[in-house]
């Protein structure tokens, strides 16, 4: 072929030179494309969707109650969604669903004439007689373990349903899509609906532990007996210590101890101060009593009492002190006029002596009062010390009781938690909760419905694509044939291959006859195919 030749011209030359072959190959594939939708078995796609709302927390959580509103959930992960998909596509679940439908007479797949006459006999021969009468005897002769032979309709239907069931998680969501291809839309819809129902039942059984009701009744009685015993012990302990709330009473007692200790410190300071003043007054009184000099008429203490920064002075001591001072002053003045042994001086000295004795008597009485007050303060200190010790003993008693109560409360809470777990599992495994799906976190988002149009085959797609494929294959076949045909087709090949000039070209004079038949008739079509 000349490289400088027009390739489009060469394409059309080959195409029209072999148009008869192209037409026949194309017609064969066109007929196959037209017959294929009639020969293929129809298949309907039954779709449904399941949404997994969330993943439930541990069943043993004692803080959750049995109501739906208090259930705690967390978003499902990709692993959780894959687990849900595996539960849906489980062969055991599919087999159980088909078995239930077959028991009700609602599932009998029609395999078609071709499958009954060719496919099924081959499968049964390969799987059953060949293994039973050939493979197993040979294995038995060599001492090998033989394979069990089991090929029932339920197994076949389960295998077909597993192959035709497509289950996948929609990307980026918590929705599982179910697509089931089946020849009978009514049976397929019933199968998908039953599969979803069995899925919800099985996953509920996986999430909860279902035990006999008698087990829960026994646990309930044991719980009541144990709880009554613990509550009785708790009440006895509270009655023994005489308190309804040890913690609150301990707080009250501690506050009382704090108050009493503050007052006790004040009284102890007062006792120390009073003791020192009392010792001082006694020493001063003894010195004043033993002296006989008239010039030492005063007492080195004013008997002033300070209360709230206000000084209160003893009026009687003050009056006697002023009177004694006046008498001594007058005596000293008269001493310059009268003789010490004169009658006026003796009389004045006698008055000073009486006033002095009276003054010292009153001072002695005040010292006695302070001694008594000191005894009272000591008594108050002893009383407060005893009261603080009593409060501390009471607090120790309450603390011991509180420790025992804490142990009982821990045991009671553990008992409540254990019984709450049993009660939750019992509620979740009950039939009402299972049917209503109250505690389940999975829902049927889109229930299956019976389709009206077949998903396969689609003549609108098969016929055009079949004809286009036939045309392309016909052209490819012609080009393959042309590639292996080494005969000369045009003068340029002689010059190119042999290097000889072409002197004369004689064209074929036979002209193809026109179609003698009317257009769009059978004879016209046959003539077109043959020529």
Contact 375, 193 (CB under 8 A): no
Q: Specify the pLDDT at position 455.
A: 66
Q: Which domain holds residue 301?
A: 246-426
- Number of domains the chain contains: 2
Looking at the structure, tell me whether residues 369 and 442 fall in a common domain: no
- Other CB atoms closer than 10 Å to residue 97's CB: what's the count? 23
261 lies in a domain? Answer: yes
Question: Is 470 domain-assigned?
Answer: no
Q: Is 196 helix (H, G, I), strand (E, B) or coil?
A: helix
Strand order in the sheet with 44-52: 165-169, 175-182, 44-52, 442-446
pLDDT score of 382 more than 90: yes
Tokens of 246: 């040890």
Same domain? 274 vs 192: no
135-149, 234-248, 283-297, 473-487: the lowest-pLDDT one: 135-149
Model confidence at 62: pLDDT above 50: no
pLDDT the model gives residue 260: 92
Integer Cα distance of 432 and 230 in angstroms: 34
Cα(188)–Cα(107) distance, integer angstroms: 8
pLDDT over 70 percentage in the chain: 73
SS3 category, 111:
coil
Distance CA 217, CA 444 (A): 34
Confidence (pLDDT) at 379: 92
- The chain-wide mean pLDDT, for the chain, equals 76
Query: Out of 103-117, 228-242, 426-440, 497-511, which region has the weakest mean confidence (pLDDT)?
Result: 426-440
**Domain assignment of residue 24, yes or no:** no
Long-range contacts of 428-431, Cβ-Cβ distance < 8 Å, separation of 24 or more: 428/59, 428/204, 428/207, 428/208, 429/204, 429/205, 429/208, 429/209, 429/210, 429/211
What's 390's domain CATH number?
Answer: 1.10.287
State the alpha helices, DSSP H only, in 296-342.
Answer: 315-334
406: nearest Cα among 201, 198, 229, 234:
234
pLDDT category, 293, cuts 50, 70, 90? Answer: low
pLDDT at 270 over 90: no
Task: State residue 380's pLDDT score.
Answer: 92
Question: Are residues 200 and 177 both part of a single domain?
Answer: yes
> Worst-scoring range by mean pLDDT, 191-195, 299-303, 324-328, 332-336?
299-303
| Most confident among 59-63, 187-191, 345-349 (mean pLDDT) | 187-191
* Residues linked to residue 182 through DSSP beta bridges, in sequence order: 44
Confidence at residue 288, expressed as pLDDT on a 0 to 100 scale:
77
- Shared-domain flag, residues 144 and 258: no
pLDDT at 381 over 90: yes
Q: Give backbone dihedrals phi and psi of 429, rounded to 5 degrees, phi first.
A: -90, 0
Residue 11 pLDDT exceeds 80: no
- Do residues 277 and 171 share a domain? no
* Lowest-confidence segment of 93-97, 359-363, 389-393 by average pLDDT: 359-363
What contacts 246, CB < 8 A, 6 or more positions away? 238, 398, 399, 401, 402, 405
The answer on pLDDT for 23 being more than 90 is no
Q: Are residues 446 and 373 in the same domain?
A: no
pLDDT on residue 385: 93
Quote the crossing angle between the two packed helices 91-104 and 153-164, to the nearest 10°: 120
Do both 190 and 279 map to the same domain? no
Regarding whether 294 and 358 lie in a shared domain, the answer is yes
Nearby residues of 352 by Cβ (< 8 Å), 6 or more positions away: 294, 297, 324, 327, 328, 331
Q: What is the pLDDT of residues 40-53, one digit of tens each?
A: 777 788 889 988 87
Strand, helix or coil for residue 452: coil
The answer on 445 and 343 residing in a single domain is no
Q: What is the pLDDT of residue 116?
A: 47
Residue 151 has pLDDT above 70, yes or no: no
Whether pTM > 0.75 for this model: the answer is no
123 plus 60 within the same structural domain = yes
Cis preceding-peptide flag for 337 (omega within 30 of 0): no
Give the number of other Cβ atoms within 10 Å of residue 156's Cβ: 16
Asked whether the predicted pLDDT for residue 315 surpasses 90, the reply is no
Greater pLDDT, 237 or 499: 237
> In sequence order, what DSSP letters do the residues of 373-411 get, joined into one string?
HHHHHHHHHHHHHHHHHHHHHHHHHHHHHHHHHHHHHHH
Residue 112 Ramachandran class (φ > 0 left, ψ -120 to 50 alpha, else beta): left
């Amino acid at each position: 072929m000349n490289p400088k030749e027009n390739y489009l011209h060469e394409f059309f030359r080959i195409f029209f030179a072999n148009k008869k072959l192209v037409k026949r190959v194309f017609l064969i594939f066109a007929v196959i494309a037209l017959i294929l939708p009639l020969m293929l078995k129809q298949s309907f796609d039954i779709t449904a969707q399941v949404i997994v709302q969330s993943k439930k927390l541990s069943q043993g959580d004692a803080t959750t109650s049995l109501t739906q509103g208090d259930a705690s959930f967390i978003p499902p992960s990709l692993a959780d969604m894959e687990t849900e998909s595996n539960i849906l596509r489980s062969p055991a679940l599919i087999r159980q669903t088909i078995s239930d439908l077959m028991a009700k007479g609602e599932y009998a797949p029609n395999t078609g004439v071709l499958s009954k006459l060719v496919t099924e006999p081959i499968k049964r021969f390969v799987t059953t007689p060949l293994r039973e009468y050939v493979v197993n005897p040979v294995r038995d002769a060599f001492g090998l373990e033989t394979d069990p032979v089991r090929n029932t309709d339920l197994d076949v239907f389960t295998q077909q349903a597993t192959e035709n069931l497509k289950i996948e998680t929609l990307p980026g969501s918590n929705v599982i899509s179910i697509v089931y291809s089946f020849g009978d839309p009514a049976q397929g819809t019933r199968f998908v609906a039953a599969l979803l129902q069995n899925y919800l039942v099985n996953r509920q059984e996986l999430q909860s532990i279902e035990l006999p009701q008698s087990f829960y009744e026994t646990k309930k009685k044991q719980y009541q007996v144990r709880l009554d015993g613990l509550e009785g012990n708790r009440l006895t302990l509270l009655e023994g210590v005489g308190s309804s709330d040890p913690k609150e009473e301990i707080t009250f007692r501690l506050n009382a101890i704090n108050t009493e200790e503050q007052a006790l410190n004040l009284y102890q300071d007062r006792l120390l101060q009073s003791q020192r003043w009392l010792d001082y007054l006694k020493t001063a009184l003894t010195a004043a009593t033993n002296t006989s000099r008239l010039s030492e008429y005063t007492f080195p203490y004013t008997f002033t009492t300070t209360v709230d920064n206000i000084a209160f002075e003893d009026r009687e001591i003050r009056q006697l002190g002023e009177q004694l001072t006046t008498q001594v002053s007058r005596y000293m003045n008269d001493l310059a006029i009268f003789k010490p042994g004169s009658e006026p001086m003796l009389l004045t000295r006698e008055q000073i002596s009486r006033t002095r004795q009276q003054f010292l008597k009153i001072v002695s009485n005040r010292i006695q009062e302070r001694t008594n007050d000191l005894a009272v303060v000591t008594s108050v200190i002893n009383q407060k010390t005893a009261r603080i010790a009593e409060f501390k003993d009471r607090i120790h008693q309450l603390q011991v009781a509180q420790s025992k109560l804490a142990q009982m409360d821990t045991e009671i809470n553990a008992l409540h938690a254990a019984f709450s777990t049993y009660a939750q599992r019992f509620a979740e495994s009950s039939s009402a909760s299972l049917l209503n799906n109250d505690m389940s976190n999975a829902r049927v988002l889109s229930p299956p419905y019976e389709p009206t149009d077949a998903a396969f085959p689609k003549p609108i797609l098969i016929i055009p694509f079949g004809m286009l494929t036939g045309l392309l294959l016909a052209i490819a076949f012609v080009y393959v044939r042309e590639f292996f045909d080494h005969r000369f087709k045009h003068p340029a090949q002689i010059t190119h291959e042999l290097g000889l000039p072409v002197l004369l070209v004689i064209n074929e004079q036979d002209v193809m006859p026109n179609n003698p038949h009317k257009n769009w008739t059978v004879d016209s079509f046959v003539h077109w195919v043959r020529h």
